[in-house]
Amino acid sequence: MSEFKSPVYNIIAVPVEKIRANEYNPNHVAPPEMKLLYDSIKEDGYTMPIVCYYNADEDMYEIVDGFHRYSIMLKYKDIYEREKGMLPVSVVNKPIGERMASTIRHNRARGSHDVDLMSNIVKELKDMGKTDKWIMKHLGMDADEVIRLKQMSGLASLFGNEEFSNSWDIE
């Protein structure tokens, strides 16, 4: 077994045009914080890489973490020009379920979430065969939070493989 090496030790410069958002990020940043992020990048530069998965079939990088840093380059010409259209990228090579979990872990450490999108993520992970225990462990949730998010989707299929206790017996 080879020694683990954190992705941050292999930062690469990637043209912003070869990077795209993922479809599952539930994190939102309010306009004042986006302005602060712009000011931070303008004054300090990019101090954190964008975390991406490289899709070799499409020759594209899909964001796992760093969507808002990426957005700043797209929105502000001065940043794009100064950085020559390049973003620092740290590449992770994980299957989609693991990438979704990584996105949530990154976000939960610092941001807020769109509850409907979180419910959709729980549904997608359940559809992939992930257990509640897996979701709790990898997304940093407790059992009640997972149940609430499953209930929000209104889909009985999310509860299909669950064991339930009998609250009473009908005689």
> How confident is the model over 127-150, as pLDDT tens digits?
888 888 888 877 777 888 888 888
Higher pLDDT, residue 40 or 166: 40
DSSP assignments along 66-111, one per residue: -HHHHHHHHH-HHHHHHTTTEEEEEE----HHHHHHHHHHHHHTT-
62, part of any domain = yes
83, part of any domain = yes
**Domain hosting residue 17, numbered range:** 11-93
pTM beyond 0.75: no
Share of the chain above pLDDT 70, in %: 81
125, part of any domain = no
pLDDT digits (tens, 9 = 90+) for 66-92: 999 999 999 999 999 999 999 999 999
Distance between CA atoms of 50 and 44, rounded to whole angstroms? 16
54, part of any domain = yes
> What backbone phi and psi angles, to 5 degrees, belong to 19?
-115, 140
58, part of any domain = yes
The pLDDT value recorded for residue 40 is: 92
The pLDDT value recorded for residue 121 is: 77
CATH number of domain containing 45: 3.90.1530.10
- Say if residues 135 and 121 touch (Cβ distance below 8 Å): no
pLDDT at 117 over 80: no
The pLDDT value recorded for residue 60 is: 97
Average model confidence (pLDDT) across the chain:
83
Nearest to 21 by CA among 114, 99, 113, 129: 99
The pLDDT value recorded for residue 164 is: 46
132, part of any domain = no
The pLDDT value recorded for residue 170 is: 61
Question: 115: which 2 tokens?
Answer: 């509850």
Region 23-46 average pLDDT: 84
> What backbone phi and psi angles, to 5 degrees, belong to 44?
-110, -10
In the chain, the number of structural domains is 1
163, part of any domain = no
98, part of any domain = no
